[in-house]
Amino acid sequence: MLKTVVMQGKVVVITGATSGIGEVAAQKLAAMGARIVMIARNSERAASTLSRLRQIAPGVEHRVHYADLSRLGEMRRVARQIALAEPRIDVLINNAGAAFDRRQVNEEGIELTFATNHLSYFVLTEGLRESLLAAGAARIVNTSSEAHRRAKLDFDDLQFTKRYRLFAAYGRSKLCNILFTRELARRLEKNAVTANCLHPGFVATRIGDNNRGPVSYLFRFAKIFALSPEKGAETIVYLASSNDVANSNGQYFYKCRPLAPSKEAQDDVAARRLWEETERLAKIFPSFEEGPPRRSN
């Protein structure tokens, strides 16, 4: 049986809670007593998620902050806004993600898969650092994917200016999620905050539906055989709430169990270099500083 920490009164910041896996995870955590602070870009879907959360847990002040997480300026603004509004954050779930069949860039010139799936995880985590440290044993949960298995990093062309392909770019962004989690965990070692990542399984959500033509048909057909979002949310909820993983740090999980990721995803030199490249790109805050020794829970 899973041992669950008390979520009553805990503050959970989550991205991608207007659909799919994140929406179910937010509902489950709200049902356990958490106050949900979500970051969303679509006001209709956010209102619908919020109203469901308020039905599940009436009287709790669930909130929404709006931002398009494919745009660096918006990532930074929303991180600042939430840091001001939430001086203590117990759980940060970086979950928003997308797959694009054509190479597109945002107004800062950053490729959209890389920006949405990797850079937003980095900028939000760094921007909310003080609030996470203030909670003591806070948890950071990053949604990655088994799609990372065949991916490789190319530090000379991280954003696929040459030969962009959807599955290569998406897989690389999910490899970045694991390497980011590893390096973050290493930097957090002297604090009580932990960082872990996960594969939710292949889940029937809206992922890929933003594309047109053959790619969209491929996604829709494959999803006939996929898991339900309820099943897909299980490992997120587990990492956010179970006592079993109170001291896990830097690990990759699938079906609520640790799983060894690919060789590339275990490369600590690459993880450190990716952090530095991302930090340079994000042109932001200093990284997590060393703090007091880790508390055991």
Site string for ligand NAP, 227-266 (x = CB under 6 A): ----------------------------------------
Q: Verify binding: residue 104, ligand NAP, rule CB under 6 A.
A: no
Residue type (1 letter), 283: K
Closer residue to ligand NAP (CB): 133 or 239: 239
Segment lying near ligand NAP (by CB under 6 A), choices 38-46, 155-163, 269-277, 286-294:
38-46
User: At closest approach, how far in Å is the CB of 17 from ligand NAP?
Assistant: 6
User: At closest approach, how far in Å is the CB of 70 from ligand NAP?
Assistant: 4
Closer residue to ligand NAP (CB): 22 or 191: 22
User: At closest approach, how far in Å is the CB of 68 from ligand NAP?
Assistant: 5
Q: Verify binding: residue 16, ligand NAP, rule CB under 6 A.
A: yes
User: At closest approach, how far in Å is the CB of 138 from ligand NAP?
Assistant: 20
- Answer yes or no: 170 catalytic: yes
d(CA 18, CA 16): 6
Segment lying near ligand NAP (by CB under 6 A), choices 6-14, 149-157, 195-203, 265-273:
195-203
The correct pick among 33, 45, 168, 272 for binding ligand NAP (CB under 6 A) is 45
Q: Name residue, tokens 């169990």.
A: 257
| 202-221 positions binding ligand NAP, by CB under 6 A | 202-203, 205-207
Q: Which of 66, 121, 164, 170 is catalytic?
A: 170
Q: Verify binding: residue 101, ligand NAP, rule CB under 6 A.
A: no
Active site residues: 170
Binding site for ligand NAP (CB under 6 A): 16, 18-22, 41-42, 45, 68-70, 95-98, 116, 143, 145, 199-200, 202-203, 205-207, 226
